[in-house]
Amino acid sequence: MKRQVGNFGLKLMLALATLIGAFAITPGQLILAATDHQIEEIKAVNSYLPEDINKHWAADTLYDLIHADIVKGYVDREGQVTIQPDKRVTRAEFVALLVNTLGLQKNKEQDPISFSDIEPNEWYYEPVNIASSLGIVKGVGRTVFGPNRYITRGEIAALITRAFAYTVAFDETKAKHFKDVGQGYWASREVAKASSVKIINGYPGGYFKPFEYATRAEAMVMLSHALYLEENAVASDKTLLEVVRTANEKEERAFQALDIASLKEIGAKHYTGYRKATHDLTVAVLQKLKEEGYTVQITCEGKLEAQVIGKWNRIAVVEVNGLTYRLKAVKDGEELQSVQHVKGMVMLKKGPMMNEWRVYTSDVPLLVTKKMLSVLETQS
């Protein structure tokens, strides 16, 4: 199924910036003014909105992977999160990303290669051994893996085609011929396979630059392309729609009953990534409004309409419409109101280990407003 979520990351950023208005300085900065004690829910949301990729050529793909918790950023001393998309990637880093994303398990019938430079106490020991036992990695020598060496574009093409060998329909008859990838190149066939389904596209002039070190953005884009090509084990529309509708029905009941405990349970069970972070932020605001003495009421109108518009083995896109939530909070003559139209796209992710589908992002605006968000700064 053709990918139909172009510019989704940008849409999310614009939607959030519009929602939080004056509080949004830039997409990656704090939603509320900086304080000595940053609210955990706000910090969580901001971790999915790194400021160094807004105008990057791969922003759409990077936001998608970040929101799905496939890619994590770097956190500095001030708590700012960056992705550093143009930074080079080591072999260990990419293997770990590949293994964790796909939830790969060690082949019990094949021992991994005993690499002399892979020690049990290293963070990459397990993912490298898993990939080795599955024949995905073979090292830079008979017993040397080179975990801290930067990975090349050709090496990534090889690892991805091996890792996705049984889930992506490669077709070498449609391979793109690159001037700098001859038959003598060790990964010429893997590059051909990757190009046949456009996991890689190369540079102008017919070049691939196989020996060039890959950047984080390039590595993530190649991985993302592969994820959106897996179609040999897609879920049924019924399964995907049930996930969305079940979460919505529970949330609707909990919102109208202002059941904070149930809302927290819904977030933990049905959401992940960016969607869970924004859900938790909404719940935190509602809880704080109640604690501050506001009379809070949430009503719901309409009926949820949903249809699957894209699905792959691990990712799905569902379009939703039809519901409207109205939130009113009153205290001492002050009245706060908001309206949320549940209309837009919802993206689901299948967990690599539990095989459960959860919503990981959406461009549906938040239920709470910037004025309501500010209540989190008040001290009880």
Sorted by sequence, the CB contacts under 8 Å of residue 64 that are 6+ apart come out as 5, 8, 9, 224, 347, 361
- Which DSSP symbol is given to 6? T
| CB-based contact 372:285 (threshold 8 Å) | yes
Helix (H, G, I), strand (E, B) or coil at 91: helix
Distance CA 337, CA 155 (A): 54
Helix (H) or strand (E) holding 321: strand 315-331
Confidence of residue 370 (pLDDT cuts 50, 70, 90): confident
Q: Which residue has the higher pLDDT, 33 or 236?
A: 236
Confidence of residue 29 (pLDDT cuts 50, 70, 90): very low
Q: Provide the pLDDT for residue 36.
A: 41
Q: Provide the pLDDT for residue 141.
A: 86
Which tens digit of pLDDT belongs to each residue from 332-354? 999 999 999 999 999 999 988 77
Q: Provide the pLDDT for residue 150.
A: 98
Q: Provide the pLDDT for residue 377.
A: 77
What token pair was written down for 366?
């938040």
For the chain, the 3-state helix, strand and coil shares in percent, each to the nearest 5, are 40, 20, 45
Sorted by sequence, the CB contacts under 8 Å of residue 302 that are 6+ apart come out as 322, 323, 324
Sorted by sequence, the CB contacts under 8 Å of residue 56 that are 6+ apart come out as 62, 85, 217
| CB-based contact 160:222 (threshold 8 Å) | yes
Q: What is the DSSP string of 145-203?
A: --TTSBPBHHHHHHHHHHHTTTTS---GGGPPPPTT--TTSTTHHHHHHHHHTTS---B
Q: Is the pTM of this model over 0.75?
A: yes
Domains of the chain, CATH where assigned: 8-74+233-377 (3.10.450)
Q: Provide the pLDDT for residue 18.
A: 35
Among 10-19, 110-119, 205-214, 308-317, the range scoring the smallest mean pLDDT is 10-19
Q: What is the DSSP string of 206-243?
A: TB--TTSBPBHHHHHHHHHHHHTT--SSPPPHHHHHHH
Range 162-190 average pLDDT? 95
CB atoms < 10 A from the CB of 121, how many? 5
Sorted by sequence, the CB contacts under 8 Å of residue 82 that are 6+ apart come out as 50, 51, 52, 73, 74, 76
Tell which residue, 84, 62, 21, 94, has the closest CA to residue 274.
Answer: 62
Confidence of residue 32 (pLDDT cuts 50, 70, 90): very low
- In percent, the amount of the chain with pLDDT more than 70 equals 89
Q: Provide the pLDDT for residue 38.
A: 55
Which tens digit of pLDDT belongs to each residue from 44-102? 998 999 989 989 999 999 999 999 999 998 988 877 899 999 999 999 999 999 999 99
Q: Can you list the pairs that 127-131 forms with residues at least 24 positions away whose Cβ atoms lie under 8 Å?
A: 127/92, 127/95, 127/96, 127/98, 127/99, 127/100, 128/92, 128/95, 128/96, 130/99, 130/104, 130/105, 130/106, 131/95, 131/98, 131/99, 131/104, 131/159, 131/163
pLDDT(380) > 60: no
Q: Provide the pLDDT for residue 266.
A: 98
Confidence of residue 22 (pLDDT cuts 50, 70, 90): very low
pLDDT(277) > 50: yes
Which tens digit of pLDDT belongs to each residue from 243-275? 999 999 999 999 999 999 999 999 999 999 999
Q: Provide the pLDDT for residue 39.
A: 83
Tell which residue, 377, 376, 378, has the closest CA to residue 281.
Answer: 376
Distance CA 269, CA 354 (A): 12
Distance CA 224, CA 246 (A): 28
Tell which residue, 300, 321, 290, 322, has the closest CA to residue 251.
Answer: 300
Distance CA 5, CA 318 (A): 10
pLDDT(355) > 50: yes
pLDDT(9) > 80: no
Q: CA torsion angle for 161, 166, 169, 172 (degrees, to 10)?
A: 50
